[in-house]
Amino acid sequence: MERTNAWTTYDLETQKKCLTFAEEYRQFISNQKTERECVDYFVNEAEKAGYEELSRAIEEGKQLKAGDKIYMAWMNKSIVLFQIGTEPMEKGLNILGAHIDSPRLDVKQNPVYEKGGLAFLDTHYYGGIKKYQFVALPLALHGVVVKKDGETVILNVGEDEDDPVFFVSDLLIHLAQKQMQKKGSEVIEGEALDLIVGNKPVKIDAKTKAGKKDAKNAETAKEAVKAVLLDILKEQYGIGEDDFESAELEVVPAGKARDAGFDRSMILGYGQDDRVCAYPSFRAMLETENPVRTSVTLLVDKEEIGSVGATGMRSHFFENALAEVMNLAGQYSELALRRCLANSDMLSSDVSAAFDPTYADCFDEKNTAFLGRGMVFNKFTGSRGKSGSNDANAEYIAHLRDIFDKEGVSTQTAELGKVDVGGGGTIAYILALYGMNVIDSGVPVLSMHSPFEATSKADIYEAFRGYTAFLQDANFA
């Protein structure tokens, strides 16, 4: 069974809508490369669309009614949005859930050092990466430094045309005979992924216009490049070396996402796993009006490292927020909350691996996703014998097929590679713990987890259309 390419179903008006949506998405992923940046964007756009902060509603003792819009940002790295439906929440919610973290390098807490006349920031990679892909690449630094007095310093260096960029060095091919014999996982060691951030051991005196080495003591003289770097950080950002202890700084590929292909049918950019699903989910939430079932969109952190921590899906921030919302709506009891979660339906909006003809032996071509053929449904993820997966019920899948067929949404089904080749997981199984219906659905991606991933504009638009249709669905009986 072969699925139709979505592009062939578009008239000129639909294609225009697709390209407009894709351009808005391209701008989003170009400018929002961290969880904090995504949450800031979502909060600003949600408030423009009439969403009210949950804590403010609690403080004011607001009584929620059908049509009201509420959001809660959690630790600035996850967010959940609700639009109250006409049906009691005890009967269940329609939930979209995506993650907004992506593989990257994180700056360590004691990172600054000098060696060989170069200043470095020591890093620890985050999520599943091929370490060799992050060398000899222009990199940017995003994040926050929180000082002891509570002041938060925001860093975003390497994105503007006039900004400096940073990089991790690689060994020249002329000396790399031994390196080239190593396994791919060992070509670059994790501890070698340190960011080069400076090389100048002098400061230019503003009056004399001459270079001047800062030699207050022997240690400073020996580590002059590091000293100059720390001076720059102090002068430009008010940051001291010890402030890195309370910093969250992420190293990501520099530069904007780009149209790809002569036909401009694709987008090439960093962080599309999983912001290519998070953005359409958020936009679908803003499009939803007067739902029968309460609509929910969850955009969470830490999926790439197991959904752990206070901002990951394994924490209880969503359950706690839901309890507060039900309480403001006059519908809360512990039993009603449990029934609400168990009766809910969810699309775990996460990406799938697109078929790559260059590596065709890793895919079961009959059961894989293809760029351009629409949003993807993965009945199960996990690895090998479905280990660690959520395996969606056939009845639920049939209901979703009916929704999307009625709306003319292009869809396809897939597995993550051949059975014994590998696998992966999403947040689906965590929400399924409540007993709700969950299935993975999202956008196929080429070169997933690399510094620059590729997606089809048609698939992104079809995901948006599918998510919108799902949120408006009245019920799955």
List, for residues 405-440, the tens digit of each pLDDT value: 999 999 999 988 888 887 788 888 999 999 999 999
Three-class secondary structure of residue 35 per DSSP:
helix
Q: What is the pLDDT at residue 335?
A: 97
Give the Cα separation of 182 and 200 in Å (integer): 34
Are 96 and 284 within 8 A, CB to CB? yes
Collapse the DSSP code of 1 into the 3-class scheme (helix H, G, I; strand E, B; otherwise coil) and give the result. coil
- Please report the beta strands in 101-235, taking only residues with DSSP state E, as ranges in sequence order: 104-115, 118-126, 139-146, 152-157, 195-198, 203-204, 211-212
State how far the Cα of 372 lies from the Cα of 387, in Å rounded to an integer: 29
pLDDT at 215: 46
Average pLDDT over residues 460-472: 96
**Average confidence (pLDDT) over 256-261:** 98
Q: Which phi and psi (to 5°) does residue 35 adopt?
A: -60, -45
| DSSP β-ladder status, 247-253 and 104-115 | antiparallel
pLDDT of residue 217: 43
Give the helix ranges, DSSP H, for 223-333.
224-237, 272-287, 317-328
Q: What is the pLDDT of residues 187-246, one digit of tens each?
A: 999 999 999 999 999 876 655 555 555 545 444 568 899 999 999 999 999 999 999 999
pLDDT of residue 222: 81
- ∠ CA(362), CA(368), CA(371), 5° rounding? 105
- Rounded Cα distance between 126 and 132, Å, is 14
Q: Are 52 and 72 in contact (CB under 8 A)?
A: no
CA-based nearest residue to 155, from 269, 239, 62? 239
Q: Which residues contact 251 (CB under 8 A, 6 or more apart)?
A: 104, 105, 106, 107, 121, 123, 139, 140, 141, 166, 195
pLDDT-derived band at 477 (thresholds 50, 70, 90) equals: low
Mean pLDDT of 138-148: 97
* Range of lowest pLDDT (160-174, 311-325, 375-389): 375-389
Q: What is the pTM of this model?
A: 0.94
- Mean pLDDT (the chain, rounded): 93
Spatial contact of 353 and 437, defined as CB atoms under 8 Å apart: no
* 54 has pLDDT over 60: yes
Provide the pLDDT for residue 212: 54
Q: Which residues contact 287 (CB under 8 A, 6 or more apart)?
A: 468, 471
